[in-house]
Amino acid sequence: MDLCFLPAHELGRLLREKKVSAVELAGAVYSRIDAVESRVKAYLLTLKEEALNQARAVDAALASGEELLPLAGIPLAVKDNICLRGVETTCASKILKGFIPPYDATVIERLKEQRVVFTGKTNMDEFAMGSSTENSGFYPTANPWDLERVPGGSSGGSAAAVAAGEAVLALGSDTGGSIRQPASFCGVVGLKPTYGLVSRYGLVAFASSLDQIGPITRDVRDCALLLNAIAGHDPRDSTSAPQEVPDYTEFLVPDVRGFRIGIPREYVGEGIAPEVRAVLNRVVELLEGMGAEVEETSLPHVRYSLPAYYLIAPAEASSNLARYDGVRYGLRVPAEDVVTMYKRTRSQGFGAEVKRRIMLGTYALSAGYYDAYYLKALKVRTLIRRDFDEAFKRFDLILSPTAPTPAFKIGEKVADPLAMYLSDIFTLAVNLAGVPAISVPGGFAGHLPVGVQFIGPPFAEGQLFRAAYALEQEAGLAAKRPAL
């Protein structure tokens, strides 16, 4: 029995039936890390001793007859922009090297209540700015399906860890596709929740009006279980929605009869790889065979998602990243005066992509350009949100490819920022509109996984889980794993 590739819900059953111990499970995951991490490089740091102590506590609770919550004892990896008290959190940036948060993010508090076992902090694009995990300030992560290819980004380390069996579950964050695109590239499930459903308290900010924490898992049931654990109102996050959270596992019914699903024509035109189009067509056949109605629709303003996003997100980033100045935490480069210290610290601490986005955002917010760029982008954002509102009057869900291509080769797009930005062309509008979306494996292009994305109205995660679960059961891809 290969414990590191079993889903969390199956492992939870084995733990409760005492057919396996939490210590055995943690040991299996760390054995897997020892075997493959030198090639995958999913982690920035691992927490083996702490994890084994957490696992021993779970086993002791089980032995005493305590009734445990569903995720007790399950190994989970944390993206390195989510604060875990007492554990270095760098956002994969040299400017935060050595920063130890004195508090837990809300999602971490909730997972500690579940008695999850934390395996370590995963690699990412620096400050979540990227689509390939090549922008990490330390080293790139490889895709477990093909070590010469990227795992996607910015949550590439989390997706690669789950795909490679180096974690059973993982947390990522999604600002413009950073959970869904790596989930597609790595053949796992990734959910970007409705903005406000999951607290952002303790998430290091990139673009505060777009960021959301979400699950990356091996299958749809695990995704529902993890969302159950982390969703819900948090008074410490002013953007947290006072929304009642259902048990999302109740939506896991393999039945989409009567579902009306729209495919935006803007998402199936030029730029989509033929093999991705073939996977989408096959998914449509499966859904129609299960009784769903699938029709073409239009989201006329999503074509402006890319320019709108790359004005709004960098503008917010330029403000959020102003706090990294060498004074309070992280890197400080000594200098003869404070202004020179600021300049040297930020010049040496930030990578090229972060600097690019800070400059873009500062320019867009500057006097004389605010109305022409940032304000206009906000107006376009409103039009994109209205497009979704109109579409959801006719359709229950929207279906699209998650990414226009399968995983590309490491280094292939590094010199062309625009080509890299286009990797997120199908995911950006979801963040601009604040609606939820899930990426689920839809098929393969040769040996590479290809994901498809279901998009729903605000707080319709239940409908997303139902459609994704039905497709997962029909396609039969959840058990596939990379050879490594």
DSSP string, 356-383: HHHHHHHHHHSTTTIIIIIIHHHHHHHH
**How far is residue 325's CA from residue 166's CA, in Å, rounded to a whole number?**
35
* Average pLDDT value for residue range 414-443: 95
* Strands ordered across the beta sheet of 437-445: 43-46, 117-122, 75-79, 169-174, 212-217, 189-192, 437-445, 448-455, 397-401, 260-264, 293-297
Q: Tens digit of pLDDT for each residue in 275-293?
A: 999 999 999 999 999 999 9
Among this protein's residues, is 41 annotated catalytic? Answer: no
* Average pLDDT value for residue range 411-436: 94
Name the residue among 379, 373, 385 with its Cα closest to residue 430. Answer: 385
Catalytic pick among 136, 154, 155, 318? 154
Give CA torsion, residues 161, 70, 437, 89, to 10 deg: -50
Q: What are 53's two structure tokens?
A: 């102590």
Locate the DSSP E strands across 153-211.
169-174, 189-192
**How far is residue 356's CA from residue 382's CA, in Å, rounded to a whole number?**
26
Residue 319: which residues within 8 A CB-CB, separation 6 or more?
361, 365
* Average pLDDT value for residue range 231-247: 96
Q: Tens digit of pLDDT for each residue in 142-159?
A: 999 999 999 999 999 999
**How far is residue 151's CA from residue 428's CA, in Å, rounded to a whole number?**
18
**What pLDDT is attached to residue 306?**
96
**What pLDDT is attached to residue 368?**
87
Return the axis-axis angle of helices 220-230 and 461-475, rounded to nearest 10°. 160
* Average pLDDT value for residue range 382-396: 98
pLDDT band per the 50, 70, 90 thresholds, residue 271: confident
Contact between 209 and 308 (Cβ < 8 Å): no
Tell me the C-alpha to C-alpha distance, in Å, between residue 431 and each of 112, 179, 232, 315, 331.
28, 11, 19, 15, 31
**What pLDDT is attached to residue 479?**
84
CA 405 to chain centre: 18
pLDDT at 1 over 80: no
* Average pLDDT value for residue range 179-186: 98
Catalytic pick among 41, 79, 121, 413? 79
**What pLDDT is attached to residue 140?**
98
Tell me the C-alpha to C-alpha distance, in Å, between residue 364 and each of 74, 314, 357, 374.
44, 8, 10, 6
**How far is residue 48's CA from residue 37's CA, in Å, rounded to a whole number?**
14
Tell me the C-alpha to C-alpha distance, in Å, between residue 434 and each of 395, 457, 466.
17, 9, 20
Catalytic pick among 93, 158, 178, 305? 178
State which H helix or E strand residue 441 sits in.
strand 437-445
pLDDT band per the 50, 70, 90 thresholds, residue 418: confident
Q: Which domains does the chain have, with CATH numbers?
A: 1-237+246-484 (3.90.1300.10)
pTM, entire model:
0.97
pLDDT at 180 over 90: yes
Among this protein's residues, is 319 annotated catalytic? Answer: no
- For all residues of the chain together, what is the average pLDDT? 96
pLDDT at 9 over 80: yes
Q: Tens digit of pLDDT for each residue in 51-96?
A: 999 999 999 999 999 999 999 999 999 999 999 999 999 999 999 9
Name the residue among 194, 188, 192 with its Cα closest to residue 217. Answer: 188
Among this protein's residues, is 154 annotated catalytic? Answer: yes
Contact between 44 and 122 (Cβ < 8 Å): yes
Locate the DSSP E strands across 221-314.
260-264, 293-297
Give CA torsion, residues 462, 214, 8, 285, to 10 deg: 50
Q: Tens digit of pLDDT for each residue in 306-360?
A: 999 999 999 999 999 999 999 988 999 999 999 999 999 999 999 999 999 999 9
Name the residue among 206, 157, 209, 202 with its Cα closest to residue 179. Answer: 157
* Average pLDDT value for residue range 433-442: 98
Tell me the C-alpha to C-alpha distance, in Å, between residue 352 and each of 80, 132, 306, 340, 425.
19, 14, 20, 20, 22
